[in-house]
Chain A
Amino acid sequence: MKYYLMMCAAVGWFVSSAASQINVSGEGSVGYVTSERGFSQYVIDNGNPTFVWRWDLFADMRVSDNITLSSNFRMLQDEVFHIDYFALRISDIASTGVNAQMGLIDLPFGNLGNRRFPKENPFYDLPLMNEHLTSLCESDYKLWVLEPQFAVKGDGVRLLDQGLYDLGVEVFGRFGMFEYAAALINGMISETGVYAPQGVNANNGFGGVFRVAATPTTGLTFGISYATGSFMEDQHTDTNSAIYQEDPSEYPQHIVMGDLDFSLGYFTLYGQAGYNIWSFQNADEDNKKISHSDLKAFAYSVEATYAVTPRLTLAVRAGGLLFNSIDDTVPTFSGPVHYSGNWDRDEFRLETAIDVHLTRELLLKGVYEWNRTYDVAQDPLDDVFVLQSVVSF
């Protein structure tokens, strides 16, 4: 509580003492959410209809002509006050055209951009690849797929960690039609450092994130991103690892993703497709205790919108996750288990949305999510319907 009061006081001080140098804006949203009463991670509140809310405050301060300090403060109905983004940005360093930002930064991976926020996101959720919790636990070499209680409901890391914020530094800039970005971060795309104890680096190395993109013509951008690094917490000594007695930080994640951004007239299209490897193949070579298979995932998301009238936009998004098969003997608490098959369930989500701007500041959304889970005896009932209002200021 003391922390929040201090934070509010600090923001208030900035506002009052530097009114001409600060932009304060934000978004507030309230949603009515109801899902089917099945059993999956997409079911909300056990299928009980519920109201949800979210509040984002953006406080951007201009330090000098080429230095700004930007921040996002966010609260959800199930979270305490949270800082997503707090970065010092320096533009055109020494007239080189190179820019930098440091602090809690947004990772230069893919083309999510402003669609992180409810006002710019025509849907309720982020793309499936940013939302789906896989069966891979973040703290140990443990495949929840072997634990019956998690057979449907994922409880592990995401492929991309939602809004993609992490502590680190980034340099970025443009050369003609090309843009580039490179960042060093505490954590990794799937498990950002903000979850680590005390929010500092939980590994003995940094994650690296890189992106290059080209805009050959206005409205058309191709990008490719790559990230590598440890996604699990360093256990310091091998024996600290509960099952494997190995240091998880030795086994990195590699992910490459291509993205496409096209728009013209009243039509926009965003596409992303990525291939990811969580490396395990070389783990524990000595005693062969653990899985010899890499865990791989292919993910895609395609999103299109069309502004039918000045106030009405229709949107559709399709996204999927495909996981590779493994054939291994995997240790569990109850002893080695041989497993053959996909290490997680393939998923597909189709979302449709109608967005209506009652005013420029007030957006109403109606969203329906069809969720389909494969490789299960019966697809769980977990479709979701959302009505959401978003007010921006």
Chain B
Amino acid sequence: MNDACTSDCSPPRTEHDLPIRLVIRTIVMIGWVLTLISTASAQRGAHTGEIHGEITIKTSDELSDEIFRGRMMSRYSTDLSMSEKSVEPYTISEKAVVYIESVGDSREYPPPDTHPQLNQRDLIFRPLVLPVVVGTTVDFPNNDKVFHNVFSYSQPKEFDLGRYPQGKSKSVTFEKPGVVNVYCEIHQYMYATILVLENPYYAVPDDDGLFVIHDVPSGTYQLSFWYGRKKVATKSVTVRGNEVSAVNFSF
């Protein structure tokens, strides 16, 4: 044991230590630089914009007509007294959705805490089109005095809820994106679509046809317009941070 070694027992530095320290410092510096670049990049990604637009409907609504005619003419239904009641026609907010097909990432967006509802009321489904994010659980309450039996054979989600009475509700979770056509086994004219979307960048128009999609990441996307039973238009839209992009649809 060397007696001089009392406080620092490191071996004495030599000339060979200098390059090693330089390499370590360089690595640390590069790390800092990469971190800064990454942070700056992330800050740029956080810049989001909005998509505003208006939907104008010029064509007759054949799907709604079909549903309401079917409802009125349900020949062997024992629910005639109910079907005589006038029902409010679908508003545009119940049958139109504007949505971004894909934002180009594989991120999984958390579903909402509350369950959106597809109501069975006055012997029809309301709304006619229900957009949800993948992973969302949808409730199907029966608000009619008669049985309904909600089912779907669509590929993203095949289900059959069986018959259940007024006041009861059943739920389905949609794990895959796609179009889910929903029917009632008892009332054959009843129809609705659940659009299971990959991201939350969609909007339901208000009753005047105006819509806003908030917090859209900057980028160029395909914006689709779904009306009734099908997608009727797609437009390209570029979103820039803190800016509003305008897209209108007419059908």
Contacts and interface: CB of A to CB of B under 8 A. Distances in A.
Interface in B137-151: 145-147, 151
B72 interface: yes
B72 A68 contact: yes
25 contacts: A23-B70, A60-B75, A62-B69, A66-B84, A68-B72, A68-B73, A70-B73, A70-B75, A91-B72, A97-B81, A99-B80, A113-B76, A213-B78, A218-B145, A263-B147, A265-B162, A265-B164, A266-B163, A268-B163, A309-B160, A310-B151, A310-B159, A310-B160, A311-B158, A359-B153
A307 B81 contact: no
Given A106-B75, A106-B76, 11 more contacts: A20-B62, A23-B69, A213-B78, A215-B78, A218-B145, A218-B147, A263-B163, A265-B162, A266-B162, A310-B159, A359-B153
Nearest to B166: A218
A360 interface: yes
B14 interface: no
Given A68-B73, A70-B73, A179 B78 contact: yes
A: interface residue count bin = 35 or more
B60 interface: yes
Given A66-B84, A311-B153, A360-B183, A218 B73 contact: no
Contacts of A357: 153
Contacts of A217: 165
Interface string A210-227: 000101011101000000
A97 B163 CA distance: 28
A338 interface: no
B interface majority secondary structure: mixed
Contacts of A172: 80
A110 to B, nearest CB: 12
Across chains A and B, which 9 residue pairs bring their CB atoms closest together, nearest first?
A310-B160, A218-B165, A265-B162, A113-B76, A60-B73, A266-B162, A174-B81, A114-B76, A92-B84
A interface majority secondary structure: strand
A219 B147 contact: yes
B160 A266 contact: yes
B65 interface: yes
B207 interface: no
A357 B151 CA distance: 12
Interface of A: 20-21, 23, 60, 62, 66, 68, 70, 91-92, 97, 99, 106, 113-114, 172-174, 179, 213, 215, 217-219, 221, 263-266, 268, 307, 309-311, 357, 359-360
Contacts of B73: 23, 60, 62, 68, 70
Interface residues of B, number: 30
Contacts of B80: 91, 99, 172-174
Interface string B159-200: 110111110000000000000010100000000000000000
B243 interface: no
Interface core residue of B73, B84, B165 (most chain A CB under 10 Å)? B73
B208 interface: no
Contacts of B151: 310
A266 B147 CA distance: 12
Nearest to B65: A20
B78 A219 contact: no
A96 B207 CA distance: 35
Interface in B23-81: 60, 62, 65-66, 69-70, 72-73, 75-76, 78, 80-81
Nearest to B153: A360
A358 B88 CA distance: 34
A15 to B, nearest CB: 14
B146 A218 contact: yes
Contacts of B60: 20
Nearest to A217: B165
Contacts of A263: 147, 163
A80 B183 CA distance: 34
A221 B166 contact: no
Given A23-B70, A263-B163, A265-B163, A91 B153 contact: no
Contacts of B75: 60, 70, 106
A67 to B, nearest CB: 10
A174 B77 CA distance: 12
